[in-house]
Structure 1
Amino acid sequence: MDQAMTQVFYVTRFTSFIQRLFSYYVKTEFLHNVGVNYLFAPWISWLLLLQSAPFIAPKTFPYLVLWWVFVIPLVVLDVKIYGQWFTKGKKFLPTVANPTSQLSVIGNLVGAQAAAYMGWQETSIFLFSLGIVHYLVLFVTLYQRFSGGIQLPRMLSPVFFLYFAAPSVASLAWESIAGAFDIASKMLFFLSLFLFTSLVFRPNLFKRSMRKFNVAWWAYSFPLTVLALASTEYAQEVKGSIAHILMLLLLAISVLVLPGLMVFTLFNTKMLLSDNDPIVNLLNHLPRVV
């Protein structure tokens, strides 16, 4: 009896410790102007998995329940982040805006796409509008490069690829809402293609970050994937040789990047631990504005 009580005691203490540790890291991320944007990443991933899951069809009850489970945290984070943009004064957004801020936009757009698959037209338009309007505000803010804003370390320069990830996701989301890859989707795709080209022709921006592998390299994967997906929809709509060549090129790049990142990560697994992750140390030294 005493042994059983002792085991229960230690299990309870261990569970409490894990809970406090998890709460500490989540709170630290939540209060960090760069880290808070990465809180969108799990919900974005799960929404994408929900859309691609072969065993959960849209318009079914499990799909509906999971959609709500994944979207509600996104909306809560939206209220926190966008609310600060509104209420903290005109200098707040130029100070805290950085390329990772676009993850909040991507979260809304992915949620809109998932809602469109269920036939929830009004909900999908609501989330799309929420994402695209704040993307315009964020895009203009980042474009002007206000002085005094957060300057990301060179090691985090791969997150600049998020510049073309947002319009790529927007083009796919609008296609799901409109039912066709129409002019609006093409405009968003062309914007993402232009931003991708602009970054490719500026290798010096990524030179220092590419000297040694770090977890930030994974920021290349998702933007390239959604850009390639948008190019496939564009090629199917246009049915031209140039569009198909562009599609094959982007698909090849996307396919090659993913296994390459997996191999590099496999040989650098120690970086996945927070104590050995240089990204964590860099973020801890960035200024906080709460």
Structure 2
Amino acid sequence: MLTRIHAGYFRISLSLCWETLLWKTLLDPTNNETKFLRHVPQMIYRPILIFLWSFALLVLVLLSLLYLLRCFFRFNLVKGEFLHHVGVNYLFAPWISWLILLESHPFIAPKHVGFKALWWVFAVPVIVLDVKIYGQWFTKGKRLLTAVANPTSHLSVIGNLVGARAAAKMGWQEVSVCLFSLGMVHYLVLFVPLYQRLSGSDRLPAMLRPVFFLFFAAPSMASLAWASITGSFDTASKMLFFLSLFLFTSLICRPTLFKKSMRKFNVAWWAYSYPVTLLALASTRYAKEVKGKVPHTIMLILSSLSVLVIIALLLSTALYSKMLLPDEDPSLTAKLPKQSSRIV
């Protein structure tokens, strides 16, 4: 098992943790935009949230322990992930999952000393990975951005934005702005070559095409982070939300792009879930800021879609559990094209 499991399996924890945060937002009795959930009795609000949070925690702890064992007993494989243009980006996933789970905790408030201490534990590894990976983009010939960029590279950006949002909730304004600027600058640098198809699209096998959903996950997270920093879902947040909504619409209007990836179950399917949940979270902030039927309808549709997607993935994972650990995973077998080796 230790030879087959890799950081890409933290897609599952990302989906569960973000879904928990979405339900925490929707079930919040102070949220005036979730009127369709007001019939939920106040007495079962916390039990529902505790159940979701506990389930996400259980899965995340299990994955973390397995990966920790892999680090001890199969370190050469972990090193291989770090050197792989797709696998390295999923090294951000465990830390993002822990940060999201911390933020969705039913009882610990952002101002609590425990929250602040744990933030440092989970955010520092993200910064360390930033220094290593971003540094390689402009200092190492064969690992230039145009040679290694692919949609999973958005995870490095999302890691910074998640840390920025949590820091803003704690009142650490300077830290949050620092992480936000770091994430957004590299998002702009990353977005251009990927959107122009200078790289990325030919770096991935068909089975990994669900990760294209990360195109709209990054601006969705950016809109949430900026709203937390400024205290309101202002024009900048709306622009990022509209961008993510446009990218989401563009992708779902091209189902043939994902046809080959849907022929056989793979853990990469979980990449469909958390970007949709992030977009749903952004829509809740938009609906809170902009009153009216249209924002409320968008929030309802995206939230419902998020729930349906994660239920479908849970059922698929249970039904095809034997296929969950394939002998060869495309996340680690995909190779760079020959043209990247000519970059000096």
TM-score, with length taken from structure 2 = 0.75
- Residue 268 of structure 1: how far off its partner (Å): 1.6
Q: Which residue in the other structure is 2:120 paired with?
A: 68
Taking the aligned partners of 1:194 and 1:148, their CA distance within structure 2 comes to: 20
Amino acid paired to 1:228: A
Deviates more, 1:51-60 or 1:252-261: 51-60
Q: Which residue in the other structure is 1:144 paired with?
A: 196
CA spacing shift, 1:18–1:286, aligned 2, 3 Å? closer
Contact 2:87 2:331 (C-alpha < 8 Å) held by counterparts: no
Taking the aligned partners of 1:234 and 1:115, their CA distance within structure 2 comes to: 21
Taking the aligned partners of 2:238 and 2:126, their CA distance within structure 1 comes to: 27
Q: Which residue in the other structure is 2:230 paired with?
A: 178
Q: Which residue in the other structure is 1:53 paired with?
A: 105
Q: Which residue in the other structure is 1:206 paired with?
A: 258
- The structure with higher relative contact order (CA 8 Å, sep 6+) is 2
Amino acid paired to 2:336: P
SS of residue in 2 equivalent to 1:83: helix
Amino acid paired to 1:241: K
Q: Which runs of 5+ in 1 are unaligned?
A: 1-16
CA spacing shift, 1:80–1:234, aligned 2, 3 Å? same
Taking the aligned partners of 2:302 and 2:201, their CA distance within structure 1 comes to: 33
Q: Which residue in the other structure is 2:333 paired with?
A: 284
Contact 2:150 2:199 (C-alpha < 8 Å) held by counterparts: no
The answer as to 2:133 corresponding to 1:84 is: no
The answer as to 2:276 corresponding to 1:224 is: yes
Percent identical pairs in the alignment equals 68
The answer as to 2:221 corresponding to 1:163 is: no
Which of the numbers 185, 191, 208 marks the counterpart of 2:243? 191
- Residue 89 of structure 1: how far off its partner (Å): 4.7
- Residue 88 of structure 1: how far off its partner (Å): 2.3
CA RMSD of aligned residues (A): 2.0
Taking the aligned partners of 1:216 and 1:241, their CA distance within structure 2 comes to: 35
The answer as to 2:176 corresponding to 1:127 is: no
Contact 1:97 1:150 (C-alpha < 8 Å) held by counterparts: no
- Residue 231 of structure 1: how far off its partner (Å): 0.7
Matched length:
271
Taking the aligned partners of 1:113 and 1:128, their CA distance within structure 2 comes to: 8
The answer as to 2:148 corresponding to 1:99 is: no
- Residue 245 of structure 1: how far off its partner (Å): 1.1
Amino acid paired to 1:34: V
Amino acid paired to 2:231: G
- CA deviations 1:65-88 (Å, max 9, x no partner) are 110110111011101110011212
The answer as to 2:160 corresponding to 1:108 is: yes
- Residue 285 of structure 1: how far off its partner (Å): 4.3
CA spacing shift, 1:112–1:265, aligned 2, 3 Å? same
